[in-house]
């Protein structure tokens, strides 16, 4: 059943590109101020017939960033705050998995889908070995902030086919 779920990923006959929208609230607990920040975010994943994963990221402030990755090929880039990252996209047990490796932590998004009409997503923030806090740079002031916790809440997922 898994092979039939991903015709767009080159496992079967490529029929159409697939667009997956994952929406969530990112919650960050800053150590210095003891403040909790909540930011509504969306990620639009377009999986093409050529095994390219295009990602459009949108936050509640209206900031839009675009990136892409060839499935099973590592990539790298710089986010809107100027932070370098390594990105990986792959298929794992039929799930689409993206991992963004930042300086102190990795963000992993896992999307389970039948490839055409249903999906569910998880998003996890994991500290890298030897780290005891999440360090992230703000996009506006480009100042590093330290967080005791970062996690996603209220995650939704929708899927549709896109035109060729």
Q: Where are the domains of the chain?
A: 2-162
pLDDT at residue 125, as a whole number: 97
> Using DSSP, how many helices (H) and how many strands (E) does the chain show?
1, 11
Mean pLDDT of the chain: 82
Architecture of domain 2-162: Beta Barrel (2.40)
Rounded to 5 degrees, what are φ and ψ at 25?
-110, 120
- The pLDDT tens digits for 33-73 are 999 999 999 999 988 888 888 888 888 777 787 787 788 88
- The pLDDT tens digits for 57-114 are 888 777 787 787 788 887 777 666 667 778 888 888 889 999 988 889 999 999 998 8
129 has a pLDDT exceeding 50 = yes
* Contact criterion met (CB below 8 Å) for 65 and 100: no
Write the CA distances from 25 to 34, 57, 58, 86, integer angstroms.
18, 13, 12, 23
Tokens found for residue 76: 């790298």
Name the pLDDT band for 13 (thresholds 50, 70, 90). very low
Higher-confidence residue of 3 and 145: namely 145
* Contact criterion met (CB below 8 Å) for 71 and 6: no
Lowest mean pLDDT among 28-32, 74-78, 87-91, 134-138: 74-78
């Amino acid at each position: 059943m898994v092979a039939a779920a991903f015709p767009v990923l080159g496992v079967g006959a490529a029929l159409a590109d697939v667009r997956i929208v994952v929406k969530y609230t990112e919650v960050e607990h800053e150590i210095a101020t003891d403040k909790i920040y909540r930011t509504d975010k969306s990620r639009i994943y377009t999986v093409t017939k050529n095994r390219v994963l295009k990602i459009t990221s949108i936050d509640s402030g209206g900031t839009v960033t675009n990136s892409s990755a060839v499935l099973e090929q590592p990539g790298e880039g710089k986010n809107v705050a100027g932070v370098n990252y390594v990105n990986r996209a792959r298929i794992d047990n039929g799930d689409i998995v993206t991992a963004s490796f930042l300086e102190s932590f990795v963000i992993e998004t896992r999307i389970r889908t039948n490839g055409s009409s249903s999906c569910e997503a998880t998003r996890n923030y994991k500290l890298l070995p030897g780290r005891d806090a999440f360090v992230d740079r703000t996009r506006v002031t480009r100042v590093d902030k330290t967080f005791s916790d970062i996690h996603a809440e209220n995650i939704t997922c929708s899927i549709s086919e896109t035109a060729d």
